Amino acid sequence: MDEPDLRIELAFANRLADAAAEVTLAWFGDRLARERKADGSIVTELDRRAEHAVRELVRAERPGDGVLGEEEGLAEGDTGRVWVVDPIDGTMLFAEGIPLWTTLIGLRVADRFVLGVADAPALGDRYHALAGGGAWRGRRRLRVSEVDRLADALLLHSGLEGWLGARDGALARLARAARLTTGLSNAWGHLLVAQGSAELLLEAEPCFEWDWGPTSVILEEAGGRLTTLEGNRPSPGCDLLVSNGRVHDEALRLLAG
pLDDT at 27: 85
pLDDT value at 84 more than 60: yes
**HSE-CB of 253 using CA atoms within 13 angstroms:** 7
Contact 166, 246 (CB under 8 A): no
What are the beta bridge partners of residue 180?
154
Residue pLDDT, tens place only, 159-175: 888 888 767 788 999 99
pLDDT at 29: 80
Put the strands of the sheet holding 102-109 in their side by side order.
73-75, 66-69, 81-89, 102-109, 112-120, 125-130, 135-137, 140-141
CATH domain 150-255 topology: D-Maltodextrin-Binding Protein; domain 2 (3.40.190)
Residue pLDDT, tens place only, 88-98: 999 989 899 99
Strands 81-89 and 66-69: parallel
pLDDT at 104: 98
pLDDT value at 120 more than 80: yes
Overall residue count recorded for the chain in this entry: 257
- pLDDT range class, residue 41, cuts 50, 70, 90: confident
Computed over its alpha carbons, how large is the radius of gyration of the chain? 18
* Average pLDDT of the residues in 107-128: 96
Looking at every residue in the chain, the average pLDDT score rounds to 93
* Average pLDDT of the residues in 37-58: 87
| Sign of torsion over alpha carbons 170, 173, 178, 179 | positive
Find all residues with CB under 8 Å of 179, minimum gap 6, and list them.
Answer: 150, 151, 152, 153, 154, 155
Residue 245 region by backbone torsions, left for phi larger than 0, else alpha for psi between -120 and 50, else beta: left
Report the alpha-carbon distance of residue 209 to residue 74 in Å, rounded: 11
pLDDT value at 4 more than 80: no
CA distances from 9 to 72, 81, 87 (A): 22, 11, 18
pLDDT value at 140 more than 80: yes
- The answer, as to whether pTM is greater than 0.85, is yes
pLDDT value at 42 more than 70: no
pLDDT at 1: 47
* Average pLDDT of the residues in 63-83: 95
* Average pLDDT of the residues in 187-193: 97
Instruction: Say if 6-133 and 150-255 have the same CATH topology.
Output: no
pLDDT value at 255 more than 60: yes
CATH domain 6-133 topology: Fructose-1,6-Bisphosphatase; Chain A, domain 1 (3.30.540)
pLDDT value at 242 more than 50: yes
pLDDT value at 149 more than 60: yes
- Give me the residue spans of the domains in the chain: 6-133, 150-255
Higher-confidence residue: 3 or 59?
Answer: 59
pLDDT at 133: 96
Residue 175 exposed, middle or buried by CB count within 10 Å (0-12, 13-18, 19+): middle
- pLDDT range class, residue 236, cuts 50, 70, 90: very high
**Which ranges of 130-231 would DSSP assign to H, the alpha helix?**
168-177, 186-194, 209-221
